[in-house]
Structure 1
Amino acid sequence: MKKNTNFTQINNNFYRLVDDLFLKIEDNLNFYDDKIDIDYEVQDYVMTITFLNKSIIVVNKQESLRQIWLATKFNAYHFNYKIDKWICNRSNKDFWEIFEKSCSIQSNENLIFTAFKRIKK
């Protein structure tokens, strides 16, 4: 039986993109570690972010759909990877725009995130 290498490549690429996103999220959250109280936990590609006021944001992968899902206190979003960005399938907004706004609202802080790796000073 011939192995479907195209599917394997797509699957590996999806995991690479998800890993990269999760690392960038962690990096951005860690940037604020000594400034505000944000806790997060990652288990099996599910990231749970808890703020001081006990509100929660969940980021997880949906492998079968090749999507990232974001659940906030106010809404839920599904993102597809398009042209080097995770884009919401309803609003066409970038993941980082929605994630930053959601975290800022739920933490009651003005958080600024970047899609690029930060260097902590």
Structure 2
Amino acid sequence: MTDLEFMDHAEKLLLAVERSCDRINDATDADVDAQRSGGMVTLTFPNRSQIVINLQKPLHEVWMAARSGGYHYRFDGQAWQDTKGAGEFFDCLSRDAAAQAGLPLQFSA
């Protein structure tokens, strides 16, 4: 994958995270605050816990830090998959966000 291809796919992922937060906040009482700074999105929950998603351009990876741990994702041509087999990015984000919010939350591409 070229740097340009990585950035295209990674920007789509970050935009999808932001749009999912907007949709979740409109449909639930989750009140998830999404703040973007360049290649990083920080999700802050009412209990002050956070999930940080950031781009690792040199590695062509997206990293996510949550209460449950840190994860590295690579695009496999279809989806962003954890490099250690923990699953697809949006499934993992949904699981961790739900745990931190105390509500069922669904993030999607």
TM-score higher than 0.5: yes
The Cα shift of 1:73 comes to 1.0
TM-score by length of 2: 0.92
Counterpart CA distance in 2 for 1:17 and 1:62 is 13
Higher gyration radius (CA):
1
The Cα shift of 1:92 comes to 4.8
The answer to whether structure 1 residue 40 and structure 2 residue 40 are counterparts is no
Q: Please show how residues 1-121 of structure 1 align to structure 2 within 5 Å.
A: 10-34=2-26, 35=28, 36-115=30-109
Runs of 4+ that moved beyond 3 A? none
Between Structure 1 and Structure 2, how many residues are aligned?
107
TM-score by length of 1: 0.84
- SS at structure 1 position matched to 2:25: coil
Task: Structure 2: state its 5+ residue gaps.
Answer: none
Identity value in percent: 25
- SS at structure 2 position matched to 1:103: helix
Higher relative contact order (CA 8 A, sep 6+): 2
Task: Structure 1: state its 5+ residue gaps.
Answer: 1-8, 116-121
Counterpart CA distance in 1 for 2:82 and 2:92 is 9
- SS at structure 1 position matched to 2:84: coil
| 2:24–2:106 Cα contact (<8 Å) kept | no
Cross-structure match for 1:118: none
Two-structure CA RMSD over aligned residues (Å): 1.3
